[in-house]
Structures are given as structure tokens and as C-alpha cells.
Amino acid sequence: MKFVDEYRDAELARGLGAQIAALAEPGRHYKVMEVCGGHTHTIYKHGIEAHLPESVELVHGPGCPVCVIPMGRVDDGIAIAKRPNVIFTCFGDMMRVPGGDGSLLEAKAEGADVRFVYSPLDALKIARENPDREVVFYAIGFETTAPSTALTLMRAKQEGLKNFSVMCNHVTIVPPLKALLESPDLRLDAFIGPGHVSTVVGCRPYEFIPRDYGQPVVVAGFEPLDLLQSIFMIMRQLSEGRAEVENQYGRVVFWEGNPRALDVLQEVFELRPHFEWRGLGFISQSALSLSDAYADWDAELRYDVPGVRVADPKACQCGEVLKGVIKPWECKVFGTACTPETPIGTCMVSSEGACAAYYNFGRFAKPKARAGA
């Protein structure tokens, strides 16, 4: 496949792996967090760890939009979905996320009209085609997907489409990173910065990480060679004693981001004073809600939702996994009570979730690699 295969070349990967190994100081252990769930998926899908020396450990971060949705917000969505006249739309991953009492998929089997869409614009199309029904889009994601939700809302407003609304769960990337860096139970050496989020926000928002915490950040693309190259760039910074924000994904990410997209976000959204993140707890100013100008399209204002905070199941350790404090397999229920077909926690649901990625792809890669070594 053109423009993709070039980034999956095993020969180049071996070369980069050797260069990374050469930069690693003997006896030192490196912990590098990939913030973004898309990176986690690539790491496991292509088996990137096979090219890394054992002293370089990848720690999975909180950047999986499905994984960070707390149970209470799932329940709120289900409550709306179960209303008689509602067509409830969301991304496919979201449907299997367990709430306090079942998932959207189960609500669908019980009769709720839940449909998965690839884009919020598809939800808008459904609203146009079903003028006598109320269509709700359950919006999730970081700054990556927020602009498309914003554009959809702007279009709904232009068209005066009254049977459409959005339940907004958009979150922002910087506050959870700050929370992680302040967390006492995690010591990291560097960050692989999220690629697609950065196409919108640019590289500048991460400058506080090297400045205040002395750790390198390299914004990376999503192909396996992108990731290896970004790890190489991190190792080069560490070996030279530098800590800076660098951009590996220059073919897509501009330093200042996408000003047009940022303007759209500014118009449609405002910061919530605080928002609950699964496993991380409440983080202030870490999520978006619709601005007053779009209040008429705000599902949370339109419908009565329980809005109750639901505690995570006791056995579930998604929080620690999301913070990178434990590896997926160290969770007590991993792979036994909690599997992709019957997930307890969100990390086991999304293909970007650390647990699902490890369960589906990673389980055998490491022992196998060790046995072969």
C-alpha cells in the first residue's frame, strides 16, 4: 500500500532498534510513556517492542478516549438512549463500554435505538432523515475529534436542526498530563507526544514538561517507524542531557497546530470547571461542554439524566493502568474476569485500551521474544 508500507519496513526498524540500543546507558532503565491510545495500538499490533532493548520500557498512558469515560457518564448516555423517541448515536468502541448497569450494546438488544457512526456528521444526516425522531450524538475524544463535533454543531445551528443534540464528553490533553506528572507513584523519563491531538493543538502546549519537569517530549506519528524514530529522538535527548519538545510527525503536525480548528473549538465549547476521568478522578478544567450559544443543542440540558457518580468496580484497576502505574497483566482481573468479550473496565474495551491491546496482541509477544533471545 503506497505511503503506508514505507513506514513499516522491517529492515529500517532493525537499524533504528540498534541505534536506540547504542544510546542506552548500561545499567540504566528507561521508562517512556506513550500518551496516546493510538500509539499503544500500533506498538502491539506491529510488535514494536521486538526492536527495543530490554532496558527501554514503554508505559501506556491515559490517551484512550473511550477508556477515560467514567461509568456514570455511560449510565447517563444509556438513560438518554432508552427514551422512547431517541436515536442514540456514538462511535463503535463506545457501545461495549460497561456502565453501572450494562452497556449501550445491551441497551440496544433491549430495544433502544442505538446506532454506531463513523463521524458526527453521519449523526446529523440521521437527524435530517428522521425529522420526527430526536437524534443524540455521544461525543467523545480529545482535541482530535472535538473540532468535527464542533463543525457538526455549527452546521446544525445554521440549518436550524432542532431534533439533534450532543452529549459532550470531550476532554483535553494537557490537564491529565499535569496530573500524571504530579502523581507520586509514577516516575517517567520521557513522553511520546500524541500525534493527532497535536495536529490541532500544536507542540507548544507541551513546553511545560521539559521546562518544569525536565523531561523530553517527542510528538510522534502512528506508523511503527514513526514510533521507533521518536523513541530514538528521546534517547538522543536523554543521552545528550537535553529536555525539549521535538516534532517527529512534521508531515502532519505544525508547531502552532491548526488555528482554524482552535477557533472552531473556541466558538462552540467552553471549559468545564471539573470533569471526572476514569481512574484519575476529578481533574479541573480538563473537559469541554457546549458554550451558551449552543445550549439548545446540549443533550445534558435537554434531557434529564441521572448524573450520578458511579464508583468503579472494586476489582477493576483501570485507574492504575491508565496512569501507567501497573501493567495490564498486573491487574487482578486481567484476562480472567475481565476479557474483551466481557469487559469490566474500559481499558479492555477499546482497541486503543492498554488492556485490550495487550490481551489481543501482546500476550505472547514478550515471553516468546525472551525465549528466542
Partner 1 sequence: MADLEEEVLARIERQRKLRPRFRDDRITMAHGAGGKATHTLVAGLFERAFANEALAELADAARLEVAGLNLAMTTDAFVVRPLRFPGGSIGELAVNGTVNDLSMAGARPVAITASFVLEEGLDADVLRAEAAAMSEAARAADVAVVAGDTKVVERGKADGMYISTSGLGVVDPRAQLSGRSIRPGDRVLCSGYVGDHGTAIMLARGDLDLDADVVSDTAPLWPLAKALLEAVAPALRVMRDPTRGGVATVLNELAADGDVGVVLEEDKVPVRSAVKGACEILGIDPMYVANEGKLLAIVAPDATDAALAALRSASGGEHAALVGEVADQPAGMVLVRTGFGGTRIMDMLIGDPLPRIC
Q: Which residues bind partner 1 (CB under 8 A)?
A: 1-2, 4, 8-10, 13-14, 44-51, 92, 96, 105-106, 108-110, 118, 122, 224, 327, 329-330, 334-336, 340-341, 351, 359-370
Q: Which is nearer to partner 1, 96 or 278 (CB)?
A: 96
Q: Which is nearer to partner 1, 132 or 292 (CB)?
A: 132
CB of 44 to partner 1, least distance (A): 6
CB of 227 to partner 1, least distance (A): 10
C-alpha span between 101 and 120 (Å, rounded):
26
Q: Which is nearer to partner 1, 79 or 365 (CB)?
A: 365
Q: Which is nearer to partner 1, 260 or 373 (CB)?
A: 373
C-alpha span between 371 and 282 (Å, rounded):
43
C-alpha span between 228 and 236 (Å, rounded):
12
Q: Which is nearer to partner 1, 314 or 370 (CB)?
A: 370
CB of 3 to partner 1, least distance (A): 10
CB of 254 to partner 1, least distance (A): 23
Q: Which is nearer to partner 1, 138 or 359 (CB)?
A: 359
CB of 130 to partner 1, least distance (A): 14
Among candidates 60, 61, 43, which has minimal Cα distance to 52?
43
Is-contact 334 355, C-beta < 8 A?
yes
CB of 160 to partner 1, least distance (A): 24
Q: Which is nearer to partner 1, 248 or 351 (CB)?
A: 351
CB of 307 to partner 1, least distance (A): 26
